[in-house]
Structure 1
Amino acid sequence: MSCMLMASCTDLTENVNNEVTADNFFRTDEEFISALGDAYNPLTSYGGNTAVTVLNEVTSDEIVVAQKGADWEDGGVWIRLHRHTFTPSDDVINNTWNDFFSGVANANRLIFQFQSVVESGDVSQEDASAFIAELRALRAFYYYLLLDNFGNVPIVTDFEQDPSETAQPSTDFQDGRQAVFEFVESELLEVLDLVDTDVGGTIGRVNKWVVHMTLAKLYLNAEVYTGTSRWDDVVTHTNAIIDSGNFNLMANYADNFTVDNTGSPEHIFTIPFDEVFLEGFNLHVMTNHILSQPAFDFGSQPWNGFQTMTDFYGSYIDPAQNPGPQGDVVGLDPQGSTVTGTVDDRLDNFLVGPLLDLEGNQIEDDGVLSSDPNGPPITHTPYINELEPDSWRQAGARIAKYEMEIGLSGSNMNNDMVVYRYADVLLMKAEALWRMNPNDPEALMLVNQIRERANVDPFTSLDADKLLGERGRELFWEIVRRQDLIRFEGETQQTRFNEAWWEKNTSDPNRNVFPIPQNQLEANPNLEQNPGY
């Protein structure tokens, strides 16, 4: 952000007034929309392995990146993320900070440009206002992410303001976090009735329903951010989305994540990845075994990195219940044995068992460690033998939530990646109602809507364990688990964010936010490091 704004602030101002006019740009809605792209581009980092998604997933109990000999050692960053010993110098933390502030900077620049052509009289306020409101909402979305991940961060809204000289709202961490919360809230509320209400025409863009959703997320975690709960406000904004009639649950859970998932009635905000026009969604190569190309006819060799935590995979299987209508066999237990029990359709989130090519032949890995009992035929088991240094190359359930396209030529997927989804709306409303009244019948009904679609038995009552567990099963790899674990801290018998888990000791609650990157501290002496780092 510093590089972008410090180097050419004056020149950009002159260019806007002298060159960007109605005579050469901003004459049509299409030209406004084209300009918006710069503000959305940082979202492409969601699909890769260098920033926000992996930062949030690998620090949760969902995902682990075990060191497989020399593979995925990477200076120990994945081990540190898993064990919550991450540092201000870790690149993935710096990348996340840069991505979000790049989005803020681009939004500020475009707001400045749009306002300039209005002030010059070349474009009417009416024509520009919806686009300016959209940019303010997108900027607030980035600040919501900064609030959640880093806490007390500088608030920069003026394109001509030098961010390298900008201080946080307060030297007190909690006061500063309160100020960021209030900024995000006020911005979103101010633009709520100014942004577009269209759903189909704004795929991949911020509209009124994205604003409602971001406000609901903000209020859902308000007690973590500010110390004051806002459950009524969660209900208000989830109701706005529900009552709009624009969204509903897909009959089949997996259809939300197919290759051709654009326009799902469950999608509220997505990133419309495309292997040609919007690259960056690399999940299939991030997670699959290096020899799995024949299983999918991939044109690129996968990297064999991201695995599902054993216990998290096991949370989908309840052998104590009666088998579901699809049959007795559910899948593999954490040790790799076949189990029977209630069929949870969301087990398709994972790839386990023998890895077969497209002709049904088992793929072999002659390079497996002699200690690996499941080689050379590749058999993915939920069990992972160790975090480091010699995790088995085929250990761990692989992430199959997004359909893997047969014959995909490169390392970029064509699926739209979900940021906000209607199922989360129902679960957020249910949680808010339950927190205000643990016996609320509507809360139970909403959760059971989700369970019914997953083909599992309904709950007869709700508690913290059931709510957290259902959010985990439904919203796997949707960048909510770290946030949920922090919000439910101390309330459940399940994994808690700062408690010890597999290959991780108890961590300091200060780890609920990430450190401000070291190079940002060095560039801006007005920044104060977060507590505990």
Structure 2
Amino acid sequence: MKKRILILFSLTIIGFYFSCTDDLDTKPITELTLEELLASDPNAVEGLVSRLYASYALTGPSGPGSSDIVSPDAGEGAFLRAIINLQDFTADAMKNRWGDDGLDQLTTTSAWDRNNKFFRLFYDRAYYTIPQCNNFLQALEIADFPNEENIVAETRFLRALAYYNIIDVFGKGVLATEENFGQSEPLPEASRQELFNYVETELLAIEPVISETSNYGRANKYVVDMLLAKLYINAEVYTGTARWDDAATYINKIINEGPYSLDNNFIRMFSSDNDMSPEIIFPLIAESVTSQSYGNTTYIVNGSLSADTMPLAQFGATQGWTGHRSSKGWYGLFGDNIAELQASNDVRASLFWTDGHNYEMNDYREWTDGFPVTKFRNTASDGSGGAVDFSATDFPFYRLADAYLMYAELALRGAAGTSMGDALDYVNAVRSRSGASTITSGDLTLDFIIDERARELNLEGHRRSDLIRFGMFTGGSYIWPWKGGSASGSSIPDSYRLFPIPATALQANPNLTQNPNY
């Protein structure tokens, strides 16, 4: 099934492709229109909707060197690569040593400006995906095809997911839908509240009609529930109004009605056989032959390895890019020194490569300062599998452990429909699975939850948003190595809760305004 979907992901429908020219003008260049294609072959809809999913998993339709958006390095334009860059490198846990073309700004959480190409690439990826969905929805209105209601719901979900990330990262943008697709005049700026309301409305409309089950890698009711829960748990950040009760409603649906269970093998969720995991709610698919990309988990696996200090083949890789290491902002949660880290019974503590590396990250550019993370690997969970150039490990975008920890956080925040007893059970289930000791009700605090989210979910693209929601990202109350550009860390302004709107977006649409203090 995984290979079948990936073959669809890599399909380029003959005579049909998209060309992105600015932040909104993503118009189809066709020899055969979508309407004509669907009229002649209604079954083509499956290949086309899979191509929409591919916007989150791949960089382009023609292999790892192709790119849907303008990028000097195709791999840099991938959605997942942007999530890791903007969510994990900017926060306390992960640092990158390359420093090229704006990576220093991210990994030191300092000197952010509108010309940083990584802000542009994330913006362009979102506003490439959104018009694709708009064009597809417009064409679907005049075609008859199998499973029509569900295909429309999936497409609307993918569009909502792109908008959700605009809300989280930039705080505002423009609202492009199938209703104004192709409009020649620049669209007006949409505020964070307006985009929030739109995404909420879309997801609430989708949730009752989308299928409860789906093929692996496709959205279903519980994937929509997870995005709704993410939207609501961050609502106070996004709109100024807390929506804890609403977040709990959808987390409860996932936990109580969904078919998911904790994987008793933590390592499997980050290995090449993770398509067999019962815990993953929504993956971004990777495959080493039919769906190669430098921007999916290849970026995480290869970027975290180096032939200088690590055995590449042990992790199923042929290349080590000598780039990513964690700081004590992560491994410090397992022990105050290497000996304590190595003595831990928590399997998550064992996923750091300490040989030849220093506990302190005195220089983020120095590879041996800090510990590389071996959480993601190209081998199967039993260690089998040969070394390959590209990762075959899917990215667990949403998984049940995250939902359990969200439930516990919501219970601590007093959300209706939650109990502290269930919260404690869920947290201890997550910890016991990894061999960590259980906790008591007295231990269960918001401070504990933000640390447990770091232990459980690091390098999964949540950390910046989590720290902002807990009031720990900006200011000086919580300091991590290299925050604000200094080795010991320093305070950063509240304006850093948002990234600057890219200069190219401002130039393309005069209705857009820059975020404060950039």
Structure 1 pair 432/20, CA: closer, same or farther in 2 (3 Å)?
same
**SS of corresponding position for 2:422:** helix
Match of 1:253 among 258, 266, 271: 266
Residue identity in the other structure for 2:413? R
For 1:478, the equivalent position in structure 2 comes to 460
Structure 2 contact 27–182 (Cα < 8 Å) conserved? no
**SS of corresponding position for 2:260:** coil
For 1:42, the equivalent position in structure 2 comes to 55
Structure 1 contact 83–505 (Cα < 8 Å) conserved? no
For 2:167, the equivalent position in structure 1 comes to 147
For 1:526, the equivalent position in structure 2 comes to 511
**SS of corresponding position for 1:129:** helix
Residue deviations 1:137-170 (CA, integer Å, cap 9, x gap): 111111111110111111101263338711212x
Asked if residue 196 in structure 1 is aligned to residue 211 in structure 2, the reply is yes
Structure 1 contact 2–163 (Cα < 8 Å) conserved? no
For 2:325, the equivalent position in structure 1 comes to 307
Structure 1 pair 131/315, CA: closer, same or farther in 2 (3 Å)?
same
Q: Distance in 1 between matches of 2:290 and 2:185?
A: 34
For 1:57, the equivalent position in structure 2 comes to 88
Residues 133-532 of structure 1 aligned to structure 2 (within 5 Å): 133-158=153-178, 160-162=181-183, 165-169=186-190, 176-198=191-213, 201-280=214-293, 281-282=297-298, 283-291=300-308, 294-296=311-313, 300-317=318-335, 334=337, 336-337=338-339, 342-353=344-355, 379-388=356-365, 391=366, 393-405=367-379, 407-410=386-389, 412-436=390-414, 440-460=420-440, 461=442, 462-489=444-471, 495=479, 502-532=487-517
Structure 2 contact 305–323 (Cα < 8 Å) conserved? yes
Residue identity in the other structure for 2:513? E
Structure 1 pair 497/42, CA: closer, same or farther in 2 (3 Å)?
farther
Residue identity in the other structure for 1:210? V
Structure 1 contact 498–508 (Cα < 8 Å) conserved? no
For 2:70, the equivalent position in structure 1 comes to none
Structure 1 pair 276/14, CA: closer, same or farther in 2 (3 Å)?
closer
Residues 57-96 of structure 1 aligned to structure 2 (within 5 Å): 57-66=88-97, 72-96=98-122
**SS of corresponding position for 1:418:** strand
Q: Percent identity?
A: 29
Q: Distance in 2 between matches of 1:60 and 1:184?
A: 26
Structure 1 pair 518/446, CA: closer, same or farther in 2 (3 Å)?
same
> Displacement, 1:133?
1.1
Q: Distance in 1 between matches of 2:333 and 2:481?
A: 16
Residue identity in the other structure for 1:483? S
Q: Which has the larger radius of gyration?
A: 1
Q: Distance in 1 between matches of 2:307 and 2:114?
A: 31
Structure 1 pair 110/252, CA: closer, same or farther in 2 (3 Å)?
same
Q: Distance in 1 between matches of 2:102 and 2:412?
A: 41
Structure 1 pair 6/485, CA: closer, same or farther in 2 (3 Å)?
closer
Q: Distance in 2 between matches of 1:496 and 1:235?
A: 31
Q: 225-234 or 396-405: which moved more?
A: 396-405
> Displacement, 1:493?
7.1
> Displacement, 1:263?
3.1
Structure 1 pair 163/494, CA: closer, same or farther in 2 (3 Å)?
farther
**SS of corresponding position for 2:173:** coil
Q: Distance in 2 between matches of 1:13 and 1:180?
A: 34
Residue identity in the other structure for 2:149? S
In structure 1, stretches of 5+ residues that fail to align are 67-71, 118-122, 170-175, 318-332, 354-378
Tell me the TM-score normalised to structure 2 length: 0.82
Structure 2 contact 25–182 (Cα < 8 Å) conserved? no
Tell me the TM-score normalised to structure 1 length: 0.80
Q: Distance in 2 between matches of 1:260 and 1:253?
A: 12
Q: 474-483 or 236-245: which moved more?
A: 236-245
Kindly report the root-mean-square deviation, in angstroms, between the aligned alpha carbons of the 2 structures: 2.9
In structure 2, stretches of 5+ residues that fail to align are 1-19, 65-74, 380-384
Structure 1 pair 304/339, CA: closer, same or farther in 2 (3 Å)?
closer
Q: Distance in 2 between matches of 1:80 and 1:51?
A: 11
Residue identity in the other structure for 1:349? L
Structure 1 pair 344/182, CA: closer, same or farther in 2 (3 Å)?
same
Q: Distance in 2 between matches of 1:8 and 1:439?
A: 50
